[in-house]
Amino acid sequence: MLEKEKMRKADVFSGAVISLFGLWIVSQAVKMPMKDSWGGVMNVWYVSPALLPLSIGIIIALLGLMLCRIGLKTVGLAEFKNTVRWLLSRHLVWFLTLDTTARFYAMAVLFLTLVFLNLPRIDFFLDAVLFLFAFITMFHFYDDALMKKFLLFYLAGEAFFILYFAVGLDTLLNGIHPFATDLVALCFLAGYALYVWTFVRRNTDLRKRYRLALVVSLLAPFIIGPIFKYFLLVPMPKEGLVVAVLDYFWYLEFL
């Protein structure tokens, strides 16, 4: 557990990040109209939808500044300068190469690519299976060396997708086949599964964990997803190849 002094040092930096986040919310909120005309009636500023995010952003920024102030008051400016010098030294490079830090990288990469890259562009069920399988195999094997190898393979695949979408290959290929992007994602998922298998196939314990990862990553989305889509009528973030197949059977389109 962190000592109080170390926690207060962390408060200074986390408070700064929180303040910047609050200012970003404010910058986005001011882009919203403060007043507008609807059906010939002019709405006044105090009913603007921008007021809520503006208020939230300002409060978050102020709370972040307060957190910074409390941290600086506790540790003192001199100790804060020592922390900044540490951050600019080679000790930071050593810290960034620790296995515990690598685990943080893996978690961040998995969540960021899921939310900002995959979900808006690839079939939800494929995204969910890929995310769960990658997450379980990276962390449930309890082997940092394997985790780093799996992370590098996953990063290579996601880097390909960034290039794939950036140059417009998705538009080109989807014009040829409506589910081309989902097929590419399916190939990546299969390639990742085969890559992981090459490292675990000779280890009985890891093979059991591998099978468990497959079962959980397949069952969870295909149990929860259809409940939301077909019973609660909640659309998936991106409906593609798998959703089309599910629709085909759910609506008895083959009859």
Which among 65, 73, 173, 161 has a CA at the least distance from the CA of 122? 161
Question: Where a domain ends, among 41, 63, 89?
Answer: 89
Question: Where a domain ends, among 89, 119, 154?
Answer: 89
Task: Return the amino acid letter for 100.
Answer: T
Q: Give 3-16 as a DSSP string.
A: -HHHHHHHHHHHHH
Q: Give 208-253 as a DSSP string.
A: HHHHHHHHHHHHHHHHHHHIIIIIS-PPPSS--HHHHHHHHHHTTT
**Residue 6: per-residue pLDDT:** 65
Q: What stretches in the chain show pLDDT beneath 50?
A: 1-2
Please state, in angstroms and as integers, the Cα–Cα distance from residue 247 to each residue in 21, 72, 165, 250, following that order: 41, 58, 26, 5
* Residue ranges making up the domain that contains 110: 99-250
**Residue 86: per-residue pLDDT:** 63
Question: Where a domain ends, among 66, 89, 112?
Answer: 89
Q: Give 59-77 as a DSSP string.
A: HHHHHHHHHHHHHHHHHHH
**Residue 34: per-residue pLDDT:** 67
**Residue 1: per-residue pLDDT:** 41
Distance CA 200, CA 214 (A): 13
Encoding tokens for residue 138?
A: 């990276």
Q: 177 CB contacts (<8 Å, ≥6 apart)? A: 183
Q: Are 141 and 207 in contact (CB under 8 A)?
A: no
Any domain includes 94? no
**Residue 195: per-residue pLDDT:** 98
Any domain includes 185? yes
**Residue 12: per-residue pLDDT:** 79
Any domain includes 60? yes
**Residue 190: per-residue pLDDT:** 97
What pTM, to 2 d.p., does this model score? 0.74
**Hey, which residues does 37 pair with through a beta bridge?**
42
Q: Please check whether residues 173 and 202 belong to one and the same domain.
A: yes
